[in-house]
């Protein structure tokens, strides 16, 4: 039954010595092996994980444990992990063994957490369904004919199926929150700069942010405590003080002002998703919250704005994959230019190529002002909308995604339909705000629905408090797919 427990509960068991980290780690490794059909992991190193678990048990024995010591955690395969394959879901990095740890990995190791393995993901985090991975699609544990969401689909599926107590993810336009909603788990995207991006393979540098994917808001707070903080290796890392996110989890919600943006409840929202979200908001009313109607008039511009800015940054960031220094190199080529072209043609998948071409076009002479500069201006308008509504309310709420998980293959031939799946999440990244998705119920097909809560800059503590109080009076976050219970 260990796999049904949260980080907080497992940490208590380890402290009481009712189990060891080696026993926990071995148990989760066995579950990973047993449920390979989900394709949630790219790399699992059993020997290394058990070695770290033994070291954690020594720390616990000597009274040097933190809340994460001995807890096995799955890591999204976007974080460089020393001595382990780090692929970012791409063929072009299929032979890359990282020589160093990303700051996030280093901090979790320092806290005593055990690296279970590296989870599958959309190639270079580009995708909303985890179908662009070179290693094949991840399946949703609630219905294996459906997608788990993306790009952090492997982390979401692993956590939902309890192939790990929790996992790390990254969110560029919704890639923590949307898969969290599709898989019925809790996913937090912190404020931009709250968690170091050093050693996190870049997609769109002004948007990418790492965060925890967990069973509960309390677990997310425990993980964020270890992950957050200034890093002098990352120039975009914030020096704002990091509170203990677990301290304020139980604060009363009496008088909390919840803003409901009218744009989040309009055309395109599935009626069953809307119904579940409205019921969740009803629970908050019972907890003493006040509802405020607000508007984000420029939110409809978020998707086109994002799909100019993100590909533009990607076209720059991915230029380093040329076959010269590391990663894949084409076997046969003529001159240097031919090697570049063949390496990139063979190494990148279709979605990555599509975004590189879009981004290069948007940055090219004659189009920069018309596309990239205009998108940056729209980004400022979107951020200003949030600033104005937060004068009227403390948090915003709405659906995480307009639908529940869709069938594998349903949207692979229609990139625009795939992009629109992130319509409620993208604006949060453009503004650099924190957002969290929590399980709020199910549709008539038994698929999870996520409630998104958006906060003010660096107000993760309030988001986690608001999410935790909801989870104290509901049990949606405790539900598991039957086949994996």
Catalytic residues: 76, 151, 175
Helices (H), 145-234: 153-160, 177-183, 217-227
Which DSSP category does 35 fall into?
T
The Cα diameter of the chain in Å comes to 70
Q: CA 71 to CA 303: how far, in whole Å?
A: 38
Q: Taking the mean position of all CA atoms in its chain, how far away is CA 14? A: 27
Name the helix (H) or strand (E) containing 187.
Answer: strand 186-189
Residue 213 host element (H or E): strand 209-214
- Can you list the positions of beta strands (E) in 274-353? 290-294
- Strands 435-442 and 290-294, by their bridges, are unpaired
Closest by CA to 138, choosing from 175, 186, 84, 104, is 175
Spatial contact of 43 and 77, defined as CB atoms under 8 Å apart: yes
3-class secondary-structure state, position 382: helix
SS3 at position 74: strand
Running DSSP on this structure, what letter comes out for residue 370? Answer: I
Nearest to 451 by CA among 258, 233, 302: 258
Q: Which segments of 250-373 does DSSP mark as H helices, in order? A: 271-286, 302-317, 336-347, 350-363
> Helix 460-473 crosses helix 217-227 at what angle (to 10 degrees)?
160
359 close to 313: Cβ distance less than 8 angstroms: yes
Whole-angstrom Cα distance, residue 381 to residue 427?
11
């Amino acid at each position: 039954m260990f796999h049904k427990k949260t980080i907080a509960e497992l940490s208590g068991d380890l402290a009481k010595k009712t189990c060891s980290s080696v026993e926990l780690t071995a148990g989760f490794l066995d579950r990973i092996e047993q449920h390979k059909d989900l394709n949630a992991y790219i790399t699992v190193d059993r020997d290394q994980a058990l070695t770290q678990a033994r070291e954690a048990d020594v720390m616990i024995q000597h009274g040097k444990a933190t809340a994460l010591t001995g807890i096995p955690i799955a890591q999204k395969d976007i974080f460089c992990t020393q001595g382990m394959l780090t692929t970012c879901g791409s063929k072009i990095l299929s032979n890359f063994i990282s020589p160093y740890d990303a700051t996030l990995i280093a901090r979790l190791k320092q806290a005593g957490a055990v690296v279970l393995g590296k989870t599958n993901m959309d190639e270079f985090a580009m995708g909303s369904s985890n179908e662009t991975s070179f290693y094949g699609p991840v399946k949703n544990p609630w219905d294996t004919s459906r997608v788990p969401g993306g790009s952090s689909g492997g982390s979401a599926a692993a956590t939902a199926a309890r192939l790990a107590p929790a996992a790390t993810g990254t969110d560029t336009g919704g890639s923590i929150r949307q898969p969290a909603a599709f898989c019925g788990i809790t996913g937090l995207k912190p404020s931009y700069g709250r968690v170091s991006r050093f050693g996190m393979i870049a997609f769109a540098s002004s948007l990418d942010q790492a965060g925890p994917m967990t069973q509960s808001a309390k677990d997310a707070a425990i993980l964020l405590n270890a992950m957050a903080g200034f890093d002098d290796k990352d120039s975009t890392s914030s020096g704002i003080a990091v509170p203990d996110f677990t301290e304020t989890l139980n604060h009363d919600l009496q008088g909390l002002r919840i803003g409901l943006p009218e744009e989040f409840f309009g055309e395109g929202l599935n009626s069953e998703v809307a119904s579940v979200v409205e019921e969740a908001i009803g629970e908050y009313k019972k907890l003493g919250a006040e509802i405020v109607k607000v508007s984000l008039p420029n939110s409809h511009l978020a998707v086109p704005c994002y799909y100019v800015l993100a590909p533009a940054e990607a076209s720059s960031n991915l230029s380093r994959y040329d076959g010269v220094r590391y990663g894949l190199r084409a076997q046969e080529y003529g001159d240097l230019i031919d090697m570049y072209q063949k390496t990139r043609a063979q190494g990148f998948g279709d979605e990555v190529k599509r975004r590189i071409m879009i981004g290069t076009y948007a940055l090219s002479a004659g189009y920069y002002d018309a596309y990239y500069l205009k998108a940056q201006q729209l980004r400022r308008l979107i951020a200003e909308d949030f600033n104005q509504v937060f004068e009227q309310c403390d948090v915003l709420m709405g659906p995480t995604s307009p639908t529940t998980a869709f069938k594998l293959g349903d949207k692979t031939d229609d990139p625009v339909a795939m992009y629109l799946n992130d319509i409620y999440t993208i604006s949060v990244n453009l503004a650099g705000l924190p957002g969290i998705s929590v399980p709020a119920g199910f549709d008539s097909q038994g698929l999870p629905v996520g409630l998104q809560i958006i906060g003010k800059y660096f107000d993760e503590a309030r988001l986690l408090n608001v999410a935790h109080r909801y989870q104290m009076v509901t049990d949606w976050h405790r539900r598991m797919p039957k086949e994996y219970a």
